[in-house]
Amino acid sequence: MAAIISFNSCSETTNNSSNIKTGDKEITLEEIWDGTFAPKRMNALDSMNGDFYSLLNTNNETKTTTVDKYSYATLEKIETIVDSKNLKELESFESYSFNNDETKIILGTNFQQIYRHSYKGTFYAYDIASKQLSLIGKEIQEPIFSPDNQKVAYAKDNNLFIKDFSKNNIIQVTKDGKKNSIINGITDWVYEEEFAFVRAFEWSNDSKYLAFLRFDETNVPTFSMDIVGKELYPNQQVFKYPKAGEKNANVTLHMYRFSTKNRKKITLGDYEYIPRIKWSNDNNVLIATTLNRHQNNLKLHKVDALKNNSSLLLNETDKAYIDITDNLTFLNDNSFIWTSEKDGYNHIYHYDFNGKLINQITKGNWEVTRYYGFNETKNTIYYQSVENGSTNRGVYSIDLKGENKKLLSNKDGQNRASFSKNLNYFINNFSSSEIPPIYSLYSAEGKMLKVIKDNTELKEELAEYKMSPKEYSTISINGNDLNMWMVKPANFDANKKYPMLMFQYSGPGSQQVGNHWNIDKDYWHNMLAQKGMIVVCVDGRGTGFKGADFKKSTYLNLVKYETEDQIAAAKKLAALPYIDEDNIGIWGWSFGGHMSTNSLLKGSDIFSTAIAVAPVTSWRFYDTVYTERFLRTPQENPAGYDENSPVNYPEKLKGNYLLVHGTGDDNVHVQNSYRMINALIDANKQFDMFIVPDRAHAIRKGKNMRLNLYTKMTNFVEAHLINKTN
């Protein structure tokens, strides 16, 4: 990659594009979306017991599906565990999951999507030794084996059930489930979206208890969307969605005892959210995580299943907010690993089972970005971090005392490890801005054993195109050195003037300026560059991996400082002799759509054009968990909501504005764009819009959807920026 340099004067960047050798072929929109530039990737693998992993493989010719077992040591297939051609009751399956000792598999098919991460489907239990297949249930959710392999718990119609294979009967754990009222064992919309989990029930290690969350969303306000579909009359999707300042579901923890068939509610004191439950290594002790509504007071509770009571294990507070992770890990002695930003950067800590700190394992002005696990035998922790610069990711090992740290992967670029379950091997997924994904087998000591896939063919094919490298730098804005990349035309001439398009997302803890291989937007940006445009991305205040203070500097003023940084960066870049200061645009999606809208309205003296895709236009319209984490409630902080919501100052629009939204977006509701449209009409402002029926937040489904969308955006950019300069 190009070195990260100081860009304080905006007078120079790395990599003079005019000296880069490039091909003659031009990137087309059709190629971006037909898979021409897609790298070869490994199927998602699941680590198995020992040094093995499994893959779900599909044979398109025979239309059969298999679950195959492979060796980490050799990468060779050991055996086929199950083949759909041998299953009379099941022609094919789309998912699988093992029980603990890998003697049984749950196979899933006929999936129906509910929200972004949740599905219901038909699931079967398959016994590997006997090759017997038995139906668990149809239109059910999240089935999981008990550790003793005798039972499967699952959810259906907002209730919890247990299928007991030893007695061949089904036990209904709850009976009060009701749509848009009571949910047992499955998270509601806002938990799924913002706390990132769906299954809210967990077996104890001895299979005697099933802990689960119950969501009472009776008093949560209802949101509805018309789905046009293909029928004569539209359908209406109705669901509970707590917008900022409104009532959340009342969430409670319950414990079901299998032997007595009784369930009891567990008292956890005062809290608003229960974002995680996890059993410790003590069969009778569950750990429940709670958060207050401001999300700045986190507690870990030790729940005694025998006594039906709880005690405090750990309490962590923050002046702003605390992020939820899945890094809580219990060791054999029930001491535990925990990650925290309490010293200003995200690091790994070791506590005993009484909540007493044993030691801080990692330290420094850098972030731990992933926790992979702890090898008890080797007394070694494995993790990913940004120790070599915030745009890079490396894989490291360190012992429990915080000593003997070792880099196991490449130093630069993005390195993501998939470890074997016993942590003796890992498959590393490496890429950089100049190197497409390479999948390699490593030992846990960091020895590269074998290259699995390297995408050399893709790199050779791309050499035929007019590809311009990203030039990485930093730019000094509002007292901060912000990470930036720039893409220039392949035939860049410093004596010419070029229009500029800025791309950003800017959400809290996010990152767009990373040293990684291209995604679809990168090819689009390159296509714009070959048409005679410079494309720039700046990660401003509030983005991630540079410490808690930098990330949380936007607290209570979401989008204010982020917008100021984009406007200031545009003005500084406009001073460069080759930038056409009269033709500067900005675009973004979701949070980035809010940012592009805000930047155009508040920065009309520098931005002439903006594209906003699925934007939030007022944080009053967005959900409680995400919005209040950064702004608190509208009742507490009205100025933080209203002073940076563009629906409140549409009269500031002076430039060219394209607004895009899907009417089936259950995340950022099309209400945001509708209200913006009405505000602009009231202010008598002209603008362009593209409202897409039934599409969700990604605006992806349907033949040619992305091609059509990006064609419209390309035409808009050409008309209002490129052609104005050229």
Structure confidence at residue 16 (pLDDT): 38
User: How far, in Å, CA of 137 to CA of 290, rounded?
Assistant: 32
Q: Specify the CATH class of 177-324 in words.
A: mainly beta
As a whole number, the mean pLDDT across the chain is 94
CA-wise closest residue to 516 among 545, 551, 547: 545
Average pLDDT over residues 166-171: 90
pLDDT of residue 13: 35
Percent pLDDT > 90 in the chain is: 93
Judge whether 43 and 29 are in contact, CB under 8 Å: no
In the chain, ranges of CATH 2.140.10.30 domains: 177-324
- Structural contact between residues 281 and 253, judged by C-beta atoms closer than 8 angstroms: no
Asked if pLDDT for residue 61 goes beyond 50, the answer is yes
How would you label 391-417 residue by residue, b for 16+ Cβ within 10 Å and e otherwise? bbbbbbbbbbebeebeebbbebbbbbb
Give the mean model confidence (pLDDT) for residues 578-601: 98
pLDDT reading at 6 higher than 50:
no
β-strand 368-375 against 380-385: which pairing, if any?
antiparallel
Q: What is the mean pLDDT of residues 100-123?
A: 95
Task: Determine contact, residues 536/566, Cβ cutoff 8 Å.
Answer: no
DSSP states along 304-356: ETTTTEEEEEEEEE-SS-----S--EE-TTS-EEEEE-TTSS-EEEEE-TTS-
Q: 523 CB contacts (<8 Å, ≥6 apart)? A: 27, 31, 32, 37
């070694």: which residue's tokens?
380
Q: Which amino acid is at 172?
A: Q
Which regions of the chain carry the CATH code 2.120.10.30?
331-454
Is residue 94 within 8 Å of residue 43, measured between CB atoms? no
Would you say residue 19 has pLDDT above 70?
A: no
94, 101, 98: which is closest to 125 by C-alpha? Answer: 98
**Tokens standing for residue 650:** 């549409």
pLDDT, residue 7, reads 33
In the chain, ranges of CATH 3.40.50.1820 domains = 17-38+459-725
Q: What is the pLDDT of residue 2?
A: 28
Q: What's the pTM value of the predicted model, to 2 decimals?
A: 0.94
pLDDT given at position 582: 97
pLDDT (tens digit per residue) in 215-262: 999 999 999 999 999 999 999 999 999 999 999 999 999 999 999 999
Residue 10 has pLDDT above 60, yes or no: no
For residues 141-156, average pLDDT: 97
Residue 676 to residue 696: CA distance in whole angstroms: 19
Confidence of residue 311 (pLDDT cuts 50, 70, 90): very high
519-540 mean pLDDT: 97
Residue found under tokens 């209904």: 172
What does the pLDDT read at residue 53?
95
H-state helical runs in 508-559: 520-530, 548-551
The count of C-alpha atoms lying within 13 angstroms of the C-alpha of 344, restricted to the half-sphere facing its C-beta, is: 7
Distance CA 97, CA 47 (A): 11
Sole residue written with tokens 């972030």: 367
pLDDT of amino acid 21: 60
> Is the per-residue pLDDT at 691 higher than 70?
yes
Q: Looking at the predicted structure, is the pLDDT value of residue 12 above 60?
A: no
Which SS3 state, helix, strand or coil, does residue 362 take? coil
How buried is residue 332: exposed, middle or buried, by Cβ count under 10 Å (0-12/13-18/19+)? exposed
Residue 478 in contact with residue 562, Cβ under 8 Å? no
pLDDT digits (tens, 9 = 90+) for 408-450: 999 999 999 999 999 999 999 999 999 999 999 999 999 999 9
Confidence of residue 88 (pLDDT cuts 50, 70, 90): confident
pLDDT of 1 > 80? The answer is no
Rounded to whole angstroms, how far apart are CA atoms 209 and 186? 17
Contact 667, 613 (CB under 8 A): no
Strand-pairing partners, residue 691, are 661
pLDDT of residue 3: 26
CATH number of 331-454: 2.40.50.140, 3.20.10.10, 3.40.50.970, 2.120.10.30? 2.120.10.30
State residue 168's pLDDT score.
86
Give the pLDDT of residue 471.
Answer: 97
Selecting from 3.40.50.1220, 3.40.140.10, 2.60.40.10, 3.40.50.1820, what CATH number does the domain 17-38+459-725 have? 3.40.50.1820
Q: Above 50 in pLDDT, residue 452?
A: yes
Q: What is the mean pLDDT of residues 603-627?
A: 98
Higher-confidence position of 44 and 435: 435
